[in-house]
Amino acid sequence: MKLFSHNDLDGKSCGIVAMLALGEEQVETFYCSHENINRRVADFISDETHKKRTVYITDIAVNDEVASELQSQFEEGRDVQLIDHHVTAKHFNDYQWGWVTSEQPDGKLTSATSMLYQHFVEKGLLKDEGALKEYVELVRQYDTWEWFANENEQAKRLNDLFYLLPPGEFEKNMMERLKTEAHFSFTDTEETILALEEESKKAYISKKQRQMVEVWDHEYETGKERYRIGIVHAESHHSELGNELNRENPHLDLIVILNIGGKRAGFRTIYDEVDVSKYAAQFGGGGHPKASGCTMSPAAFQRFVVPAFENQPRKRDARDNEYNLKENEAGTYYSNHVREKIFIYRADDASWSIHYQGKTLHETFATYHLAENYCKRHYNCWLMNDEKYLDFLASSLHLSAEEIQDNYHSIMRKISLF
């Protein structure tokens, strides 16, 4: 068998599953990107010396021209199978040799690895048990991002290890334990590697948070408001970076991760109502609803790279404040690059209000969190640190900063900022 598959964890795990099902000597793998899959498949099936060999394509799709040639060879008796789980490939279900589905009968999302595993189990070539079954489930949860909802860190760590080890070493290590072990686990050496990587990753994400620019996407909207997007340049840890940046900045609809060297753009979101596969389709890309990407076309360059250089990153909220604290009913102080003054305060028992540049907005919010999201979304602001906050109070109340610090709670009980 000749197996063409994607070059990520899900795609390469298809190779592992196929070799365990058929034997390593019976499977030749070719891991591809979206840029070279069509050429590589076309070159192989046009070579007369390979005419009788079975062709499997997993976790990636070919264009209409290559699909037409595959259909012709299928009609002539060639064994062809395409297995994918991306919604953008559903038209392959029109072919007898195509199987594309994004959801299992039990409602769980699919991955190419889980589908190929099921395919070989049904053929009697694999048993639905042991370490392999657990490994396949980890791959499925990571690729569909179910690991995040399930808090399954093992799935994320498996993907980390995939990129940390040389490709051949990862495949070799997995093959050995999946053949013999009753349960899947990491070795002590792998645990050490993953622990070191986790610390490095935390520092990297923190640095990228300080570099991210936030802008409105004036060309794409769903519903009543345009998307608010975060844009950051990064060459590694795209999935974890996008996920963490969106969690740290819930006022953003999606995160755009640019890799200028690789001429790629990745899109990540944590929201069900935001489909980044549709977003990526604007630029000829695609993927999953919560994780997609595209090549850096001129349109994408103008849409993301230019704004990233023209705007300043929003500062992070002040840490370790003692006075200017969130959910302070008397008022919490925010500022931005143009030194606008924004306050969030308790309007009544059921709502919070925003005071912006001397005026109170008509709209109120059921929670402090919603009010803060609105402010960060529309005013690009951050929680001010105590030093500037106390200076502001001193100026407003005609007191010294020392007097306010010494009598802060009694002063805040007696007066209202508004």
Quick one: CA torsion of 211, 217, 222, 228, rounded to 10 degrees?
Answer: 30
Give the pLDDT of residue 418: 44
The Cα 197–Cα 398 span in angstroms is 51
Say what the pTM is: 0.67
Q: Which of 172, 247, 262 is nearest to 205 (CA)?
A: 247
- Tell me if residue 342 falls in helix, strand or coil: strand
Spell out the per-residue pLDDT of the chain, length 418, in tens: 999 999 999 999 999 999 999 999 999 999 999 889 999 999 999 999 888 899 999 999 999 999 999 999 999 999 999 999 998 899 999 999 999 999 988 889 999 999 999 999 999 999 999 999 999 999 999 999 899 888 899 999 999 999 999 878 999 999 989 998 999 999 999 999 999 988 888 898 899 999 999 999 988 877 778 999 999 999 887 878 998 999 999 999 999 999 988 899 999 999 989 999 999 999 988 888 888 999 999 999 999 999 888 999 999 999 999 999 999 887 899 999 999 989 999 988 889 999 998 899 999 999 999 999 999 999 999 999 999 999 888 888 888 888 888 888 777 776 554 4
Dist. CA 37–CA 86, nearest whole Å: 16
- Residue 187 φ/ψ, nearest 5 degrees: -75, 165
What are the φ/ψ torsions at residue 264 (nearest 5 degrees)? -130, 155
Query: Which stretches does DSSP call E strand in 50-124?
Result: 55-58, 80-84, 98-100
Secondary structure (3-state) at 398? coil
Number of Cβ within 10 Å of residue 151's Cβ equals: 8
Beta-sheet strands, E only, within 145-263: 213-222, 225-233, 254-259
Residue 69 burial (CB count, 10 A):
15
User: Residue 35: which region, alpha, beta or left (left: phi > 0; alpha: psi -120 to 50)?
Assistant: alpha
- Report the distance separating Cα 144 and Cα 101, nearest Å: 13
Q: What is the pLDDT of residue 269?
A: 93
Q: According to the model, what pLDDT value does residue 415 have?
A: 57
Q: Which amino acid is at 103?
A: E
Beta bridge mates, 293: 266, 286
Which pLDDT score is estimated for 255?
96
* 253 within 8 A of 282, measured Cβ to Cβ: no
Cα separation, 295 vs 264, in Å, equals: 4
> What DSSP line would sit under 150-186, residue for residue?
HT-HHHHHHHHHHHHS-HHHHHHHHHHHHHH-SS---
Q: In 260-392, where do the E strands start and end?
A: 264-268, 286-287, 291-295, 332-335, 342-348, 351-356, 359-360, 382-383
Domains of the chain (ranges; CATH) run 2-186 (3.90.1640), 209-310 (3.10.310), 332-414 (no CATH)
Measured distance CA(103)–CA(92) in Å, rounded: 16
User: Residue length, the chain?
Assistant: 418
* SS3 label, residue 382: strand
Query: How far apart are the C-alpha atoms of 228 and 205, rounded to whole Å?
Result: 20
